[in-house]
Amino acid sequence: MNGDTTTIVSETPTLLVVASEDGKKENAPESAALRASVACATSHLQTQYSTELPACQIAAAPTLEEIEREIAAAARQRIEAALRDLNETRARIERERNARDATLKAMQERAGKTRAELDGLAGERAEMERRAQTFLTGDALQATREKIHLAFNVRQLELEDALALAEADAQEMQTQIQAALISDALELQLAEQYLAQLETVAPDVAESVRLAATAQENLAAARQAVHDGLLRDAEVLLAKAKAGNPEPTQVGAVEQMLADARKNQTARDLVARINAVGDQPGAVRRIKQLVEEAETAGVANRVSSVANRAFEAARRTINARYAQARPIADHLVAEGFLPVVGDGRIEAWKSVARHTHAPDTESDNTWELDHVLSLRANGVWKTEKPRVAVTRKDLPPRAQHSRWYHAWVSAQNTTA
């Protein structure tokens, strides 16, 4: 063509515009519009496919822990669903089995009843013929006998048909039961295999699912164990139930029951131990120790009445033993001993003066245990010598507060 050509090159696909020299003015508007559209297209394409950082959206990479939690959640859902299906299958199979057994039992009872009726048919016929022969004679008797034979033959045929039908139904039901046993066993086996496959891949998740599934059963068993007094078993069952994360309120109720049962058992044990103390020597001290144990365990209010009665009985017995020990203690004083009287026990101490080798030093008085008298169960006081010498600088405070010690001090002051 004649004239100059104009070429526009951009980042977009190449566009070629050809115009004649004569048509410059004529095509000027179209050329300007074309340039504007090309520029706009170039701008849109550059904006859309820009890879500069401000225009790019970079997704955060997930962590391994997040992926593991996601997989564990999915595994838990699958295992829970498989376990639920297995339990539902077992329950359905059990219901169907019970229904079939009940149907078979009803069929067998019906066949047995029909058989018994058929077996008794001959007796009924003989009884009816006997009555007819008793009250009828001649042609009437003959006609009645014919009617009896006809009626009983018809009845026998009906009963035989009914018995055959009942036995056939029972046999068919037994066949269905045998087939259902095989089918049910196969269905359970497939469900168990599927669950085992899932549990093998995620054993930790499977364990938590099973614990959660049996949490209610363990809680119920723990309650029953508490009622039966099996507190150790209740603790084990409660721990298993907690591992399944059951309802906190239910766990709290069982824990409260277990705590109350422990307190009751502790109170019963303490009461039994208090009653076992009886009126033995040292009973008051022992009862006080048991009361302190009850206060520590928080069951003092449950044993206080028993402890008070035991205290009163023990004090009366102590006073009686003290009355027995008083003349013996007076006799020991007369023999030169200082008695220290306890509950069912009398210690005979003797003052010994020891001189030191240092000049201008007073003698040092000490006490030596000479012998001990103990009250036996038969009411006899037995005297025993200590196997090892017992020496004290001062007597115990309880001895220094006794009437015999004050009498000894007064005697020493008078002698001095």
Q: Among residues 14, 32, 48, which one ends one of the domains?
A: 48
Rg (CA), the chain: 54
Task: Please list the alpha-helical segments (H only) found in 120-214.
Answer: 121-135, 138-201, 203-213
pLDDT of amino acid 142? 92
In a domain, 10, yes or no: yes
pLDDT of amino acid 49? 47
* DSSP annotation of 155: H
pLDDT of amino acid 59? 62
Q: Among residues 152, 172, 201, which one ends one of the domains?
A: 201
In a domain, 155, yes or no: yes
In a domain, 128, yes or no: yes
In a domain, 194, yes or no: yes
Write out the two tokens for 324.
Answer: 């027995």
Distance CA 117, CA 152 (A): 12
pLDDT of amino acid 132? 93
Residues 17 and 120 in one domain: no
Measured at the alpha carbon of residue 328, what is the angle toward residues 323 and 333, in degrees to the nearest 5? 125
In a domain, 98, yes or no: yes
In a domain, 212, yes or no: no
Torsion angle (degrees, nearest 10) of CA 147, 153, 155, 159: 170
Residue pair 183/215 in contact (Cβ under 8 Å)? The answer is no
Write out the two tokens for 47.
Answer: 């904006």
CATH code of the domain in which 99 resides: 1.10.287
Q: Among residues 201, 234, 264, which one ends one of the domains?
A: 201
Task: Please list the alpha-helical segments (H only) found in 49-137.
Answer: 64-119, 121-135
Residues 179 and 77 in one domain: yes
pLDDT of amino acid 101? 94
CB count in 10 Å sphere of residue 112 = 13
Residues 102 and 187 in one domain: yes
In a domain, 66, yes or no: no
pLDDT in tens, the chain (416 residues): 444 444 444 444 444 444 444 444 444 445 555 455 544 444 444 445 455 545 455 567 889 888 888 998 898 899 889 988 998 999 999 999 999 999 999 999 999 999 999 999 999 999 999 999 999 988 999 999 999 999 999 999 999 999 999 999 999 999 999 999 999 999 999 999 999 998 899 898 888 888 777 888 888 888 888 888 888 888 888 888 887 778 888 888 888 998 888 888 888 888 888 888 877 777 788 888 888 888 888 888 888 888 888 888 888 888 888 888 888 888 888 888 888 888 788 888 888 876 554 444 444 678 888 888 888 877 788 888 888 888 888 887 878 878 888 888 887 777 75
Residues 19 and 121 in one domain: no
Residues 338 and 392 in one domain: yes
Residues 76 and 43 in one domain: no
Measured at the alpha carbon of residue 39, what is the angle toward residues 34 and 44, in degrees to the nearest 5? 125
Residues 189 and 78 in one domain: yes
| C-alpha separations of 20 from 1, 4, 202 in Å | 8, 6, 80
For 411, the domain range is: 327-355+363-415
Residues 20 and 128 in one domain: no
Residues 41 and 92 in one domain: no
Residues 36 and 100 in one domain: no
How many domains are there within the chain?
3
Residues 132 and 170 in one domain: yes
In a domain, 19, yes or no: yes
Residues 348 and 409 in one domain: yes
